Amino acid sequence: MDLPVDEWKSYLLEKWSLLPISVRLAISTAKTLSDVFLLSSSLLQPEDEMFLKRLSRGYLVGKDPGAPLFYREEGNKKFQEKDYAGAAVLYSKGVSHSKPNTEDISLCYANRSAALFHLGQYETCLKDIIKAQTHGYPERLQPKIMLRKAECLVTMGRLQEASQTISDLESNFTAKPALADSPFQSLQRNLHHLKMKIQEKKNLTETFPAALAKAFEDMDLREENEQISSASSSVTLCTDPLKGRYLIATKDILPGELLVKEAAFVSVLNPGEVQPLHQALDSKWSTRVTNGDLYCHQCLKHTLATVPCDGCSYAKYCSQECMQQAWELYHRIECSLGGLLLTLGVFCHIALRLTLLARFEDAGEIIRKLCDETSHKDIYLPESKNMVKTLNYGQGENEENGKIVQTPIPGCDVNGKYENNYYAVFNLLPHTENHSPEHKFLCALSVSALCRQLEAASLQALTTNLESSKLKAAVTPEFCSDLDIWGVAMLRHMLQLQCNAQAITTIQHTGSKENIITDSRQVRLATGIFPVVSLLNHSCSPNTSVSFISNVATIRASQQIGKGQEILHCYGPHESRMGVAERQQKLRSQYFFDCNCPACQTEAHRVAAGPRWEAFCCNSCRAPMQGDDVLSCGNRSCTESMSRDHLVSRLQNLQQQVDMAQKLLRNGKLEPAIRRLLGCRHDAESFLSAEHTMVGEIEDDLAQAYAALGDWQKSATHLQRSLQVVEVRHGPCSVEMGHELFKLAQIFFSGFAISEALNTIEKAEKVLLVHYGPWHDDIQELQKMKSCLLDLPPIPVGPSM
Ligand SMILES: *[C@@H]1O[C@H](CO)[C@@H](O)[C@H](O)[C@H]1NC(C)=O
Ligand SMILES: *[C@@H]1O[C@H](CO)[C@@H](O)[C@H](O)[C@H]1NC(C)=O
Ligand SMILES: *[C@@H]1O[C@H](CO)[C@@H](O)[C@H](O)[C@H]1NC(C)=O
Ligand SMILES: *[C@@H]1O[C@H](CO)[C@@H](O)[C@H](O)[C@H]1NC(C)=O
Ligand SMILES: CC(=O)N[C@H]1CO[C@H](CO)[C@@H](O)[C@@H]1O
Ligand SMILES: CC(=O)N[C@H]1CO[C@H](CO)[C@@H](O)[C@@H]1O
Ligand SMILES: [Zn+2]
Ligand SMILES: [Zn+2]
Ligand SMILES: [Zn+2]
Ligand SMILES: [Zn+2]
């Protein structure tokens, strides 16, 4: 997903292996990125481009005229099944394939407004009705959506407008009764019904409370750092020739304190599993829903009612504003390149977008630097072998044209300020010398192919007399005149991304409405660049926790951090998810350093018994088993032993049994699911440690099954066992623990176990506050439960809830 698709990767690796040794040597030993780029791109042949184009054409990224009708029909099916959310997404897919100002698009919007109405999303419903009308909704159908509009307005309490809509509709009727092809009588009945509703509402003096404003004030940094934008004044930026840049605490920091709140400089939505057409099994139009259908491609907000780009079917947004913003900033250039960008992968896409965004900054200095890169081979970038110069540059003064230029820390401006801007991104380390030559070749050729496509697109736009002024403006001359310079910049970004890309995640709540307890799962949504977050060093047991709202990252202290201590976060390999050997290997191969964090130090000294959540235990005495190929009981007075293969295959069998039980559970076959799960637990107890992840999973499923049966006590008992497993693995203050406590609170709440519920809510709140802050949905939900239990007046909710 991050790198190009396998076909292109293996094509290029083969090309590399067939190059003369002298050429490979030249690329391997090239001193600057610009040499790597220029040498590699001179090797890109027309047949290579043809091959890449063939791969790109495999993706459906344009508007397909047959698709809107198909998706509308599929949506109608979902609508009949009362799956309104499912229907809305399919209508959205129909919208994305429709050309603007066509009957297709207006019908899709009108259908979607019906689904949104049933989902209670009245504001969005109204917007869709307006969109249907502006795109030419057929006059014969008008009464239908006008009625829906009136109904929406009534429900929202906007009675004046509702009355106006109804009287408009009525006067149109009397003027041209032939308009309505729906039976006049039924329409009259509907009108009458609505008028009654309005009367009723008018009689109620009470007005609707304004929607609970999700004030983000509390989410803001208490005091912004003067030196680093988006960071709190509780931290400061330091630099060290060996460690590079890092953040330390300037005072004692309490758990939960917000330290960084930064919007992504760029983010690219991970497309999910988009299958090229030749691999798609069924039809070319898939009803499968991916992240690309549910999240805004600009701000990453979740929405069922996306607004598509006018020119392609893959770029979708939460609003007209986001669409326009994306168009101005980058999409007018990316729009026609959808298939190519899917083929080349997310890193290449981000690299392109970064350079597109660079045009909007005072990029003079950057361009000068890039020109130096391409023309004078003797000028090195900070990470290059010219260490002396690097250190000078990094620490103090740098003589340039006889002028003393003060650049205290790489990425900071002349005043020493570090900001979320292209300059800071440009200064992130690409680790050029650590990447393998074939990887650099792969990246360079991919970037070079992209540059040629951009050039071709711009020539086409400049020479042909296009009627669309949008397209004519699509390619700015300043961009194509210096393509090589931007090619080098893009290559640099691609290499930077390996160490600096930040996965943007979201918590998806799975489980249908019938499930009382929701399961939450962290999913990767997008890849982004956050220059300030990138200042943090890694630890396998970090003292901060990161979470995201749309494309904004927040970093909070997850524990007390003393004045002068370093602020650390985890690059992925967390001690609760991986053993020390695997972590070290991953950090070395991806990030090029040997982790020396406290977790790695203590674990390395411990005899490799493995963590408790993966441990096998003795069949006869339940003591942990130890050893490599053959495991023997850790209890000296017990002689039990067992081959690892045997235990592993037992574990695999058990996993299959659990999978089957989960399937039963999903299909609502609760009793058989419970019987099977109890059998699994019995089996697990005979060879797995009580804190084994599998045991936790079984207990969690049992809790869910009993909750669905309404047996709160049993459900709670099993969930508490699952909680113990989570605590051993992730720690008592982890976000995972918070989610598990949240579930337990829901169970006690539903079972009216008031004191247990209050107690658990408090614990869950305490843990989740540290990770998410006070305005997160889960915290709000907990507070609602609490006030309900304490019999306080309920929190006012907006009409849409
Ligand atoms: C969608 O629109 C068409 C055309 O107006 C209509 O026949 C159909 O009933 C609509 N479906 C829903 C679910 O409203
Ligand atoms: C009434 O008819 C006019 C002209 O056909 C149209 O522009 C207007 O939107 C209609 N109003 C309603 C409420 O249907
Ligand atoms: C609203 O109130 C008026 C008088 O206050 C009454 O005549 C009317 O029946 C009421 N309407 C409804 C729908 O309750
Ligand atoms: C060790 O094994 C003996 C014999 O099987 C058993 O009686 C004893 O309880 C075990 N001790 C522990 C700590 O498991
Ligand atoms: C204290 C610490 O872990 N420092 C590390 C910060 O990250 C760089 C690499 O990015 C390592 O080299 C340092 O050892
Ligand atoms: C649990 C943990 O590793 N906490 C660490 C947070 O960061 C400080 C500063 O590096 C360490 O001293 C703590 O051990
Ligand atoms: Zn958006
Ligand atoms: Zn587009
Ligand atoms: Zn470590
Ligand atoms: Zn034993």
Q: Where are the domains of the chain?
A: 67-203, 235-264+522-608, 612-791
Mean per-residue pLDDT, 516-528:
78
> In the 8-state DSSP scheme, what is residue 499?
H
Nearest C-alpha neighbor of 223 from the set 214, 232, 215: 232
- Residue/partner pairs of 774-780 with CB below 8 Å, 24 or more apart: 774/218, 774/219, 775/214, 775/215, 775/216, 775/218, 775/219, 776/547, 778/738, 778/739, 778/742
Exposed e or buried b per residue across 124-144, where buried means at least 16 C-beta atoms within 10 angstroms of its C-beta: bbbbbbebbbebebeeebbbb
Q: Domain 235-264+522-608: which topology? A: Beta-clip-like (2.170.270)
Per the CB < 8 A criterion, the answer to whether 304 and 85 are in contact is: yes
Position 574 pLDDT exceeds 60: yes
- List strands edge to edge, sheet with 641-643: 625-626, 630-633, 641-643
Write out the two tokens for 140: 């014969």
For the CA of 306, the nearest ligand = 7
Residue 191 CB less than 6 A away from ligand 2: no
Instruction: Give 3-state DSSP helix, strand, coil % of the chain, rounded to 5.
Output: 55, 10, 35
Residue 598 CB less than 6 A away from ligand 6: yes
- Same fold across 67-203 and 612-791: yes
Position 550 pLDDT exceeds 60: yes
Alpha-carbon gap, residue 651 to 642, rounded angstroms:
13
What is residue 226's predicted lDDT score, i.e. its pLDDT? 86
* CA 116 to ligand 1 centroid distance, Å: 13
Between β-strands 568-569 and 537-538, what pairing exists: parallel, antiparallel or unpaired? parallel
What is Dmax (Cα atoms) for the chain?
A: 98
pLDDT band at 467 (very low <50, low <70, confident <90, very high): very low
Query: CA-CA distances (angstroms) from residue 182 to 139, 185, 335, 587?
Result: 12, 9, 41, 66
Share of the chain above pLDDT 90, in %: 47
> Of 617, 619, 621, which is best to mutate to test ligand 4, by the most ligand atoms within 8 angstroms of its C-beta?
621
Query: CA-CA distances (angstroms) from residue 119 to 94, 201, 330, 367, 800?
Result: 19, 21, 33, 50, 9
Alpha-carbon gap, residue 73 to 67, rounded angstroms:
10
What does pLDDT average to over the chain? 82
Greater model confidence, 77 or 272: 77
What is residue 621's predicted lDDT score, i.e. its pLDDT? 87
Residue 227 CB less than 6 A away from ligand 1: no
* CA 605 to ligand 8 centroid distance, Å: 55
Nearest C-alpha neighbor of 623 from the set 689, 718, 676, 691: 689
Mean per-residue pLDDT, 12-25:
95
> Of 622, 626, 637, which is best to mutate to test ligand 4, by the most ligand atoms within 8 angstroms of its C-beta?
637
Position 561 pLDDT exceeds 80: yes
* CA 279 to ligand 5 centroid distance, Å: 43
Alpha-carbon gap, residue 106 to 95, rounded angstroms:
8
Residue 172 CB less than 6 A away from ligand 2: yes
Residue 88 CB less than 6 A away from ligand 2: no
* CA 129 to ligand 1 centroid distance, Å: 13
Residue 134 CB less than 6 A away from ligand 6: no
Share of the chain above pLDDT 70, in %: 81
Residue 565 CB less than 6 A away from ligand 6: yes
Mean per-residue pLDDT, 423-428:
88
Nearest C-alpha neighbor of 690 from the set 363, 549, 39, 698: 698
Angle, helices 693-709 vs 670-685, to 10°: value is: 150
Protein residues whose CB sits closer than 6 Å to any atom of ligand 4: 620-621, 623, 635, 637-638
Alpha-carbon gap, residue 290 to 508, rounded angstroms:
13
Position 399 pLDDT exceeds 60: no
CATH number listed for the domain at residues 612-791: 1.25.40.10
* CA 312 to ligand 1 centroid distance, Å: 25
What is residue 194's predicted lDDT score, i.e. its pLDDT? 76
What is residue 441's predicted lDDT score, i.e. its pLDDT? 96
Position 477 pLDDT exceeds 50: no
Alpha-carbon gap, residue 37 to 31, rounded angstroms:
11
pLDDT band at 116 (very low <50, low <70, confident <90, very high): very high
Query: CA-CA distances (angstroms) from residue 31 to 37, 384, 433, 492?
Result: 11, 8, 9, 13
Task: Determine which of 262-271, 291-300, 509-518, 571-580 has the lowest per-residue pLDDT on average.
Answer: 509-518
* Encoded amino acid at 182, one letter: S
Write out the two tokens for 551: 């494309």
Residue 566 CB less than 6 A away from ligand 6: yes
The domain over range 67-203 is classified in CATH as 3.30.950.10: no
pLDDT band at 378 (very low <50, low <70, confident <90, very high): very low
